[in-house]
A and B are shown apart, each in its own frame.
Chain A
């Protein structure tokens, strides 16, 4: 068994590593808590957890500036936490309460924050891809240098609208980074069972879009690739594709028994590739932080997550009058 890959850490500071550790841990603990609340019946419907994929959003958010936009699918809790949305508001949306980002009317799959430039939270596989390109079009139209990150999975990569969007994004030089979060399973269908051409970023070449495959379990590799992509877009060179090789530890949704893969496969990823353990090793192994330092962070995160859960339980359900509000702007 190969040893855990240690990425080049020459360009990363102790503070940044600690920040990555903290942000990834927040997502993981938040998602674990969400899973728990789902089991208790406090969260209903569909709930798709991001556990295992944390390095992707944390690494890419490290490349953003104010004004940059992001949009993703229904597996969206991690993206929201990573772009600075409040854990309480996200958790309260999961429980369908008035304190949630959508006043309880959107749920797990539909949250938005105009203030943080987070545009959802979309439940139709692949729909967020042209929507993201449209956000980029608005920035190009206005003549600023903002970039949009349009996240989608390996499953969405087989939707036709993705390629319609590639064509127009390149034709019109839209500043959009297409982020394929390739976690290798579209619900229960592995990549090999859904497509012969498994190098997903390569499909952009047919439209003239450059891209690359990235170790999406390595937050430093993600950040390095993200910086390159963002520079490409900000310079007015049009879109860029990042195919993040990643893995989700949990099922597709809370109701997925995950019979399509072995326990051993999941365990191997956790043992060898875990994104949080990787940063922990860099911090401890590099003498940049002590076990106690990290334990202190763990405690902080636990407190934030517990507070969010308490808030989500205590926040009232939306008033019945909310049924009839927000239908029109």
Chain B
């Protein structure tokens, strides 16, 4: 019986990929385990093996095709004696699952609709600046490369940043350009290399430490807080620590409790740190360049799901975005939605839906969580009189809790409704697809919260 070979999901966040190369052609016999194609995912180029034996009946997707959705049939395998034509597209394909991921399941994370940048209210670059489309991943890489070219003391260290080209391909190409002195592969030893990086910063370097994900930075949090954040104060201002700790933060997709946590509120609680959590590619680039130039320790919280998203980025040889300046993505009059990082996706989507129902929501991206741009938030709340915060982290001691308290203290008389905090649920992240969805904040949560503060 003919079997369809489906485009495999080869990483937790892969939704589509490029069929880079076929290593077989129609009519070839293949054995189980034989490499039949090379597939480029959002992270790497992977070899794809046949699961079943058979003959390649038809190739449905030509090599070089980009944007092939996971689970799309890419070829048909026929049994001996079977006609290639006898390959019904509708036939069930139970055996075609590649070993790496359960392709029978729907893609785990719904891609937020790709959006052009809203009416550009950003004061971060001059009006009329030419823009180019770029993923968050490319923006981060460009930021590091530009700063490394500009300052010989900027260096990158972390697990798999060099020869492997980055676990999430953020550092791709940097080893080739800057060499192993400046792009340092470390052993898997977070507290050790973090301490070494902090010492190197005191010694006059500007290290960028990549944590493969911030979950692993918990091993190193003593050096981040006790060594990097506090020493300038403890030394009476003698010993600043110019260092950037960056990496993926928050839930990815289906990687369960130990690999799915948003640390924004933890780090934002610490005086001596600066904390950045960008949403768009332009912010990722401008804020990372700013972080590398900052004489203080900066926590730079990225998001694996956002790495592959494309945005418009100013096509300038050099631009930075200052810390402590929120960005108003969407102006509105009925309620203020404050978010940051991946939460912005839900916030903007909710604002779109609310607009259809006649509710005009203003959407603010904090961008940096230390310092926080209270003024922009308060001014907006004083205008709309209602506020909803959106974040992915745990609900207790969240950024939203802090904003609620600040709004209560400084704009109490302007509030027409209690502030509602939309956050992740108060549970460790479950693995099961349905439970994971329930544990995360959703657009529907945000829509419901805004309606609630509007008494609608």
Contact = CB atoms under 8 A, between A and B. Distances in A.
A123 B234 CA distance: 11
B239 A142 contact: no
B308 interface: no
Given A134-B203, A137-B200, A329-B296, A113 B238 contact: yes
B237 A325 contact: yes
Nearest to B153: A141
Nearest to B194: A130
Interface in A90-140: 100-106, 110-114, 119-124, 127, 129-139
A138 B296 contact: no
B236 A101 contact: yes
A284 B210 CA distance: 59
Interface residues of B, number: 43
Contacts of A112: 231, 234-236, 238-239
Interface stretch (B12-20, B181-189, B342-350): B181-189
B236 A329 contact: no
Contacts of B197: 134
Contacts of B242: 329
Nearest to B184: A172
A161 interface: yes
Contacts of A104: 236
A106 B195 CA distance: 20
Nearest to B222: A124
A131 B199 contact: yes
Contact of A114 (B153, B201, B239): B239
A114 B232 CA distance: 12
Contacts of B271: 327
B199 A105 contact: no
Contacts of B222: 124, 127
Given A120-B231, A138-B205, A160-B191, A168 B296 contact: no
Interface string A10-41: 00000000000000000000000000000000
Given A105-B233, A112-B231, A131-B202, A329 B196 contact: no
B421 to A, nearest CB: 27
Contact of A130 (B203, B223, B274): B223
Contact of A122 (B201, B205, B227, B233): B227
B226 interface: yes
B178 to A, nearest CB: 12
A164 B192 contact: yes
A64 interface: no
Contact of B195 (A119, A134, A139, A325): A134
A114 B200 CA distance: 14
B181 A141 contact: yes
A130 B233 contact: no
Contacts of A132: 199
A168 B194 contact: no
A321 to B, nearest CB: 13
Given A101-B236, A328-B232, A135 B295 contact: no
Nearest to B274: A328
Contact of B202 (A113, A127, A135, A161): A135
B187 A167 contact: yes
A326 interface: yes
Interface in B171-225: 181, 184, 186-187, 189, 191-205, 222-223
Contacts of B238: 101-102, 112-114
A171 B195 contact: no
A169 to B, nearest CB: 8
A134 B195 CA distance: 7
B247 interface: no
Contacts of A327: 232-233, 271-272
Nearest to A123: B226
Contact of B227 (A127, A133, A136): A127
B124 to A, nearest CB: 22
Nearest to B271: A327
B233 A135 contact: no
Contacts of A223: none
Sort A-B residue pairs by CB-CB distance and give the 10 closest, nearest first.
Answer: A134-B199, A138-B203, A130-B195, A164-B192, A329-B240, A103-B236, A326-B237, A131-B199, A112-B235, A134-B196
12 contacts: A104-B236, A127-B222, A131-B195, A131-B196, A134-B195, A136-B203, A164-B193, A168-B186, A168-B189, A328-B274, A329-B232, A329-B296
Given A112-B231, A124-B226, A168-B193, 11 more contacts: A103-B236, A106-B235, A120-B231, A127-B227, A131-B196, A134-B200, A139-B203, A141-B153, A164-B192, A164-B193, A167-B189
